[in-house]
A and B are shown apart, each in its own frame.
Chain A
Amino acid sequence: MEILGHLLDGFAIALTPMNLFIAFAGVFIGTMVGMLPGIGPINGIAVLIPITYALKLPPESAIIMFAGIYYGSQYGNSISTILLNVPGTASAVVTAIDGYAMTKKGRAGPALAASAIASFFGGTVSILALMLFAPLLAKWAIRFGPAEYFALMVFAFSTLSSLAGGSLSKALISTVFGLMLATVGFDPLSAVPRFTFGQLKLLDGLDFVVVTIGFFAISEVFQVLEETTTGAELTTKLGRVMISMKEFTGSIWTMVRGSIIGFFIGVLPGAGATIATFVAYTTEKRFFDPRRRLGTGVVRGVASPESANNAAANGAMIPLLTLGVPGSGTTAVMLGALIGLNVTPGPLLIQNRPEIFWSLVASMYIGNLMLLVLNLPLVGLFVKVPQVPLVPHSGRGCAELRGSSRQQQPL
């Protein structure tokens, strides 16, 4: 009952015209950045950070927009994957297996519909879970002292190292290297300046937002440069963007499994939407595919990873909001942005600023509905976007990004 009351308060904030518009802007931008290879949700959020500061958006509106970009990109990334076999972001790589196989069979429309429906399903299940579990976790985490936080951080860093990427030693090196970078500047407790080498500029340390954007976004640019950009043939013949009732009922349990797996993997630090799609798909293939149909272009093969990556994107909000621990690159950038808006995510956030958490939850229900509408009847408009040459988009992405990262530094 308590939850229902809070949720109604949340809807009251999320349904104001401005927040509705902001949620729409977020999911729209999210769909676009998800769809365009080379620009991911990290860049999308990074570009908008200075705008949220400049417009003096209240923190709840800012996080409504950032979250909208994040889960919106999980819808959009399947569009270019299914049509072009070019995954919009890493978390759509698995979708390409069955999604593009369906396109080659002339069933691009049903594949897009399956992706939108599965995304909506995964999104909705995980918002419910977020709403039920996040306050409980926060209540429990309020009693955390320094020792518990230290243990939590060690846990987070070790799951991060073992789950992120293939090599344990390299992931550990990156983790320790990041901690080393964080020691630059004044020590927050004793105010001893460390590793400043007499440079006044280094006294404040290295700005978290600048470092994360630099590492994540610029490496994304390099990845685009590395891949040969041969123009793939775009399928414009979509067919009807719908799946049959039989296909829908046949993939309900697939979506349930994908959503549950995705949600729990999303909650773990270090394992984001990408890993969730791999685990969901391989589970489906190993245990629930007796006739070995997956991989040949079936609806279930799209439904499984698409429900998982949306559920994971929402699950990743839990450690961010209740513990202040970002579990992925995108939530790390969000953390930086929220701190800039004077909101410190952590166990006290839901208690002290309930309006932020509950309006976010409410807006996620609304945003997912908007995305379903954007992705089912209006998908025909979106598929025209990748036909625009990609070059200016990528250039623009990094230009703005450099612009925004510059602004974090005193000029």
Chain B
Amino acid sequence: MTHHRIDRIAGVILLLLTAWYTYAATQLKIGFLADPVGPKALPFLLAGLMAVVCIYLIARPEEDPEWPAPAAWLRIGMTVAVFVLYAYTMIPLGYIIATTLMVGLLSLIFQGPRLGSFAAAFVFSLAMYGLFAVLLDLSLPFGRLWRTWLGG
């Protein structure tokens, strides 16, 4: 027995998203002299197209894919969590610490040795900061937290 659930669920979620997008498009304010096929018309066109394809997907779903093993799910979930953590720690903790944390945690997810992962991650982050921020003069965040501590 084959299932066709996932495509239907995805179709419904995307349809809801499209409805929200359409509502947001109705709120657009454009001058009354604007081109009738201008900035406001395009979103409606796209939303209409999206709705048609979504309804097609719900009506004619394909078979559910073969899901990865539960262990792989766990690792994917943890990886997403690490990415989100990285995005939020970058500005306050700075590039060096945030990157050390991310590379170290990712190495753990890939079954690296505990201490070695973080040590390598720290060396790597330092080297990258040195290359980009010091040698190449690109702006990488130093970390708001450390600046206040150092009184900078």
Contact = CB atoms under 8 A, between A and B. Distances in A.
A189 B30 CA distance: 12
Interface in A373-398: 390-392, 394-396, 398
A222 interface: yes
B112 A173 contact: no
Interface residues of A, number: 43
> A interface, by DSSP: helix, strand, loop or mixed?
helix
Given A55-B136, A403-B140, A179 B46 contact: yes
B62 to A, nearest CB: 6
Given A54-B138, A190-B34, A402-B83, A173 B14 contact: yes
Interface in A53-74: 53-55
Contacts of A226: 68, 72, 76
B28 interface: yes
B125 to A, nearest CB: 8
Nearest to A404: B132
Interface of B: 14, 21, 24-25, 28-31, 34-35, 38-40, 42-43, 46-47, 49-50, 53-54, 56-57, 60, 62, 68-69, 72, 75-76, 79, 83, 86, 90-91, 95, 99, 102-103, 106-107, 109-112, 120-121, 124-125, 128, 132, 136-141
Given A183-B42, A194-B28, A395 B141 contact: no
B72 A399 contact: no
A173 B21 CA distance: 14
A169 B60 CA distance: 9
B110 A391 contact: yes
Contact of A180 (B21, B38, B56, B139): B21
A180 B47 CA distance: 8
Contacts, number: 125
B106 A51 contact: no
Give the top 7 A-B pairs by smallest Cβ distance, nearest first.
Answer: A54-B136, A187-B39, A391-B110, A192-B39, A395-B106, A226-B68, A399-B103
Given A50-B132, A392-B107, A192 B50 contact: no
B93 to A, nearest CB: 13
Contacts of A169: 53, 56-57, 60
Contacts of B107: 391-392, 395
